[in-house]
A and B are shown apart, each in its own frame.
Chain A
Amino acid sequence: MQQLWKYLRRGRATAPALTPDPTPSRGFPAFRFDACIACGRCAPVCPTGVISIADDAPALVRTWSLDYRGCVRCTACQEVCPTQALVPTHQTQLAATSARDLEGVARFQLVRDQSGALVPRRYLAWRKETSHG
């Protein structure tokens, strides 16, 4: 009886989730499209290859996208981003009604510089249907 009373008094072992969360942020990265310069550094460091950068040269458009379904929250992309366009969050849950909702896509206008190389000029559009941005 004494034992039982002792255990009842211990209360719950699982702590409630804290908001705002004081722990280091290891959630899905949020994308701040207005800070992104479309440099493409984040794509090759992603271990699961879910960030992609693709150019449509005739249309002069560069498309950046992140498919959150394959993100393992490793923070590698955030470490290399020169403009903090990818920022850490506490969001660790994925739930959506459609796969499309778990993708972030941004489009950038390209211009040719003096050497003829294509460089991004400004962002055109951002589709953010995910709750993780």
Chain B
Amino acid sequence: MSNKLSEVINTLRRLEGPLQVSAGPEQVTVVTAAPALAQVCAQVAQACDARLATSVGCDERLLGRGFQVYFVFAADRAGAFITVQAELDENAPVFPSLTARLPAANWHEREMHDLLGFLPQGHPDLRPLVLHPGWPKGFFPLRKDAQLPPSPFQVAGDLDMPGVTGQGVYQLPVGPIHAGVIEPGHFRFFLDGEQILSLEAQLFYVHRGAEKLIEGRTPALALPVVERLCATCSASHAIGFCQAVEALSGVEIPPRARHLRTLYLELERLYNHLGDMGNICAGLSYHLGNYLGASSKEALVSLNAELTGHRYLMGVAALGGVRADLPGHAPERIRTVLAQAYRDLQELLSGITTSPSVLDRLENTGRLSREVALELALVGPAARASGVDRDARRDHPYLAYSDLKLLVPLRSAGDVYSRLMVRADEAQVSMDLVNQLLRTLPAGPVRTDVPPLPPRRQALSWIESPRGESVHWVQGGNDGTIYRYRLRSASYQNWPAVPQAVLGNIVPDFPLVNKSFELCYSCTDR
């Protein structure tokens, strides 16, 4: 056990209140009573310099444990995850809300309220988050005894959007159906002339009930579902899920599989970052940049297809390793394609940095301060562009990352330009990582057997997806199937930052700001 981790444990042991502390590798669990939950969480966050990483509400009545809530904190400097757990009263599942003290808990608590009927008492804004108007009262889909109503619901009523009122202030509704082929989301702007005074976003139009669907499946049957939570981070999702299952079953994957998974994750980051840079250019009508980004992305997803049979890397991960080894000519092909991608990236960057009209749109647009980024516990490029030095690959190393030389690029301005440049820098780091991986690829098998899930235990895994850290939480049931699964994707954590970043900007810059975060609706919603 590392010194830092024992420091964390000692700190936790000194905290006040009714709690028990127990520790495993890289993870500490604090069990407390429901009424003390908010206070204990705030103490943990403060004493251990930890941020909210994920939360899970769970109906464990079939495991003989009642309703449980888990708030998971990440202490990045100590490299530890701390779970604060409390059991709620079955008849009155109430706990004190964390949101006033930890704003990052806002969505997490609203989601528990919507889907499980847990009441975070004192929450400042308990409007439905996941559920839309027309959803029957008292029907909580993630409870184990939820019965599907006989007929589909009618969506009725208007959305409740507080916003801003005043003389000359008007509303501009955008979406949920957009002109481009993008995902659905409703954005309501409150404007004074062109200036955005407030933005309310209603997302969760693509709720597929994936977490419910996964309950009762074996990990092997759940994997294809997790992988399809969204297409742009499918390798991250699949590998993150496999890691959680392997942690639960105590399986160590072979070294070659570890390297190959890391390789696929970096290839995924690369095609996303280059494509996203192109998308940002599209957001400001810099068409040449858009096409350069798109053609790089095309070359990289074609490479994915050539290596794995799938452009978006679906089906590459398997429980216990990867599904298949790389074809023999792979290293050479990867090097060639990456060399070209590097040249394209330089060209794209020189186009951007030498064009005053492009820079004018990028700089100072959609500024997000470091304070807000910290308050909302942002992750990924969005956090790093606002000066928050946080990367799960370095802070909580997994797979082969501890064997690699990894630089974490950082910018501080928090504007669209910074988010673009963080991606550009990270893309180059990824190219370097891929080259390091190819040089050190160990020989041997790529897959090992995974025994059935042990009953009534849970495990956590984390993965730095292209959009930032995602956290997977898996719990085994009584019969080797999954009892509860939750994905807190990077997009879920970062969405609340978008309405903050657009404040004071003008409407035409919204698409640009939105694209600079490049958040996914699909894995946010699940």
Contact = CB atoms under 8 A, between A and B. Distances in A.
B90 to A, nearest CB: 34
A77 B441 CA distance: 30
A73 to B, nearest CB: 7
Contacts of B295: 10, 13
Contact of A45 (B220, B225, B288, B302): B220
A76 interface: yes
A14 B305 contact: no
B220 A76 contact: yes
Contacts of A75: 315, 323
A26 B220 contact: no
A47 interface: yes
B236 interface: no
A48 B228 CA distance: 12
A14 B294 CA distance: 10
B481 to A, nearest CB: 13
B298 A23 contact: no
A74 B309 contact: no
Nearest to B304: A23
A24 B299 CA distance: 17
A92 to B, nearest CB: 9
A25 interface: yes
Contact of B327 (A7, A15, A24, A74): A24
A23 B220 CA distance: 25
Which of B288, B294, B308, B323 counts the most chain A CB atoms within 10 A?
B323
A76 B228 CA distance: 16
Contacts of A73: 315
B224 interface: yes
Contacts of A7: 288
B305 A23 contact: yes
Contact of A24 (B225, B228, B294, B309): B309
A72 interface: yes
B299 A26 contact: no
Given A72-B228, A75-B323, A26 B315 contact: yes
Given A15-B302, A24-B327, A26-B315, A74 B224 contact: yes
B206 interface: no
Q: Interface on chain B toward A: helix, strand, loop, or mixed SS?
A: helix
Contacts of A74: 224, 315
B310 interface: yes
A13 B309 contact: no
Nearest to A25: B309
Interface in B292-322: 294-295, 298-299, 302, 305-310, 315
Nearest to B302: A15
Q: Interface on chain A toward B: helix, strand, loop, or mixed SS?
A: loop
Nearest to B225: A47
A121 B307 CA distance: 41
B296 to A, nearest CB: 9
B186 to A, nearest CB: 30
B493 to A, nearest CB: 28
A74 B223 CA distance: 10
A14 B298 contact: yes
Interface string A19-35: 00011111000000000
B95 to A, nearest CB: 36
B45 interface: no
B298 A13 contact: yes
Contacts of B302: 15
A33 B267 CA distance: 38
Interface in A41-85: 45, 47-48, 72-76
A47 B221 contact: yes
B19 interface: no
Contacts of A26: 308-310, 315
Contacts of B94: none
A93 to B, nearest CB: 14
Given A26-B310, A45-B220, A76-B220, 17 more contacts: A13-B294, A13-B298, A14-B298, A23-B307, A23-B327, A24-B324, A24-B327, A25-B309, A26-B308, A26-B309, A26-B315, A47-B222, A47-B223, A47-B225, A72-B224, A73-B315, A74-B224
Interface of B: 220-225, 228, 288, 294-295, 298-299, 302, 305-310, 315, 323-324, 327
Which 5 A-B residue pairings sit nearest by Cβ, starting from the closest?
A: A26-B309, A24-B309, A13-B295, A47-B224, A47-B221
Interface of A: 7, 10, 13-15, 22-26, 45, 47-48, 72-76
